[in-house]
Structure 1
């Protein structure tokens, strides 16, 4: 594995970093004000402006390899995604935010030419957004075979029924398409061939967003997370992705890159959190000494730096393996980072909050939101327990 980034990546790092300094960081407060002012669920004016600037600068769809994106490998994209992760508004500005990234990858890899024309192109343009409807409130969705939503063929249409939640993006007025996972053959003896995925227009009759779901009190407006009811929703047969019974296969292909992107961004969030902590402890005095001179503070800073460096190396290794031997062979490394990185970010955010005291649990410095996001990461895209079980089984398989 090469630990030195190529000249191409270094140039992009500099360009993305400069864009962050010039446009992202100075507009974070303005973005928050615009969301808080009036209807929280309307698109932010500054975000649309930032998207136009990023696209004009050639910093657009950097996550997607091949003809549709920037042609970067996972290893090349990793340091760029880390920079974006330093601000919660940056990924969308570069058209590199979840769940759109995963949905674009899914349609690019598994969609027909007609599906790409209708839905991938506007997603790549950033004129619409999307949602991924997989998790259900009635079952333990950490086991995707538990999904109860149904997809029943009726002539030239499929009829969909089910209740989904934590459908990120469904509450946004920019959301125009959902990828829905349900069962086309609940009686199949192969539990992993019962599910299918299908494209559902957001405005299809029978699609109802029941409510917004706050995460630790944060509603993430104007994108948000929704509970969505699908009642006798009819979509054309040609909206199926890849074919009946291929849903679990698509999910595995979709979640691998999605997990590593989340972890890349989390490294950036951890770096910025540590920066805030260091600046804070150098400027605050308690019991006659700056906090930065107290041993407990030095130990926490050192622990944070060690954890961040360890996590970054593990993420880079996973990215390198995905590029060189494929996602299936790299599944242990992908599972490892999905456990290690959110745990690291949760710990770093917790130590920073402690250093800030009462200010840390307020919304003034963004630490509470970082902590909430980090803690949530230990659940979405597969909880820690699922990934640890997979890692353990793969380790034991070496001794068969």
Structure 2
């Protein structure tokens, strides 16, 4: 399919696919084959070592950090050029980390580049871009705090001389227990609406008062922590304010919109890989006298999956063009995120079903993919939140034409 991608986008995407297929997938299969031989901690440690090696290979092949500015060691690609590259990276969980395009680091790199001071960029962005440190984005709170409705944020930051004092309770801070620093969302003006009274702060993970309570047990994303954290009187210098005071939500929105689209493309890559696995299985597996690949129902499943993935790719690129033109594209992003999350879940579910026992077993990556994509319908905003936004836009902008219901009224009067 042609998507009007630039020549550079197509060329880097092709290099990325070769890197994933030739280098990453053999390592992934090696790790999958060790599940029954080694405990989880050993496998995670080996995975980290493998990812470090893969990063060096990615740099040699000039595919590392496509979204990272060149001055910080990346390729410095335009946002809409990134989309096909992120899809290829999404074909393997290892590849996403090897290329430094996985959440939350990918989004935090964007925030630091867009809103950070030069000092903040040198202290935090440069080592993060080089994968020398890890980061977390600390926004979501337990009941009854900020979740899908960010206006309910309860964490506060109060000015005390030349410092800010942060108090709050967060959870689902991705990579929180492994983070070297955290970007924390906190209320800085208690009288203002949260959208205009909230700020972002860069907080060192080892600062006094930062307590990692636990890593929340969760489905999917094996080896990636989602942490519960207390901020108890955490003092940070005023220069750790990220961007302008009380502009935190505006900055976060600059992060979340593009991040939702890159998330969509990574998951499209995951679905595309799942289809590759399912097609290979269908070609090899015989049942009731014929190869599965000859069964009409399964062929229709594949046709439907390919069609809907094409629609996602087109929707993502449309929303990305709006963002590149300086628009917020909130409705376009919301539509894309909902459709992508639902579609990719259904596609991977079909692939699991096609592969039967092999699909639910973990010798293949399908079961891991399924767990991950189910989480996608909640992370980055639950489906219902985005549908609410879409409906509000559709109804607020609707032109009510009385003639459209006039005949119904007349019919009811008969």
TM-score bracket, normalised by the shorter chain, equals over 0.9
- How many equivalent residue pairs? 392
- Give yes or no for contact 2:278–2:355 (8 Å, CA) kept in 1: yes
In 2, Cα distance between equivalents of 1:120 and 1:379: 28
Cα deviation for residue 128 of structure 1 reads 0.7
In 2, Cα distance between equivalents of 1:50 and 1:240: 34
1:145 equivalent among 148, 151, 169:
151
- Give yes or no for contact 1:260–1:338 (8 Å, CA) kept in 2: yes
What does residue 79 of structure 2 align with? 74
Q: Secondary structure at the match of 2:63?
A: coil
Q: 1:252 to 1:37 in 2, by over 3 A?
A: closer
What does residue 332 of structure 1 align with? 331
Q: Secondary structure at the match of 1:179?
A: strand
What does residue 363 of structure 1 align with? 362
2:194 equivalent among 175, 191, 194:
191
Q: Deviations over 1:257-294 (max 9, x none)?
A: 11011001111111111111111122212222222222
Over alpha carbons, which structure has the higher Rg? 2
Q: 1:31 to 1:327 in 2, by over 3 A?
A: farther
Q: 1:354 to 1:63 in 2, by over 3 A?
A: same
Cα deviation for residue 146 of structure 1 reads 0.3
1:112 equivalent among 117, 136, 140:
117
Structure 2 residue 168 is matched with structure 1 residue 166 = no
2:214 equivalent among 198, 211, 214:
211
Cα deviation for residue 59 of structure 1 reads 1.7
Q: TM-score, normalised by structure 1?
A: 0.92
In 2, Cα distance between equivalents of 1:97 and 1:50: 14
In 2, Cα distance between equivalents of 1:236 and 1:65: 27
In 2, Cα distance between equivalents of 1:344 and 1:380: 15
Pairing 1:218-297 to 2, within 5 Å after superposition: 218=220, 220-221=222-223, 223-297=224-298
In 2, Cα distance between equivalents of 1:260 and 1:65: 19
In 2, Cα distance between equivalents of 1:240 and 1:75: 29
What does residue 372 of structure 1 align with? 371
Q: Secondary structure at the match of 1:59?
A: coil
Q: 1:265 to 1:301 in 2, by over 3 A?
A: same
Q: Deviations over 1:47-88 (max 9, x none)?
A: 111112212332222024675542322221111110000001
What does residue 53 of structure 2 align with? 49
In 2, Cα distance between equivalents of 1:208 and 1:306: 47
Greater CA deviation, 289-298 or 336-345? Answer: 289-298
Q: Secondary structure at the match of 2:341?
A: helix
2:90 equivalent among 85, 89, 99:
85
Structure 2 residue 137 is matched with structure 1 residue 132 = yes
Cα deviation for residue 170 of structure 1 reads 1.1
Cα deviation for residue 157 of structure 1 reads 1.3
Q: 1:65 to 1:318 in 2, by over 3 A?
A: farther
Structure 2 residue 348 is matched with structure 1 residue 343 = no
In 2, Cα distance between equivalents of 1:130 and 1:37: 21
Cα deviation for residue 310 of structure 1 reads 1.1
Greater CA deviation, 154-163 or 7-16? Answer: 7-16
In 1, Cα distance between equivalents of 2:11 and 2:204: 39
In 2, Cα distance between equivalents of 1:42 and 1:88: 14
Pairing 1:315-326 to 2, within 5 Å after superposition: 315-323=316-324, 325-326=325-326
What does residue 123 of structure 1 align with? 128
Please, which runs of 5 or more residues in structure 2 have no aligned partner?
400-414
What does residue 11 of structure 2 align with? 11
In 1, Cα distance between equivalents of 2:41 and 2:191: 51
Greater CA deviation, 223-232 or 104-113? Answer: 223-232
Q: Secondary structure at the match of 2:42?
A: coil
- Give yes or no for contact 2:10–2:84 (8 Å, CA) kept in 1: no
Q: TM-score, normalised by structure 2?
A: 0.89
Q: Secondary structure at the match of 1:49?
A: helix
Q: CA RMSD in A?
A: 2.0
In 2, Cα distance between equivalents of 1:77 and 1:192: 29
Q: Secondary structure at the match of 2:242?
A: coil
1:62 equivalent among 62, 66, 73:
66
- Give yes or no for contact 1:266–1:345 (8 Å, CA) kept in 2: yes
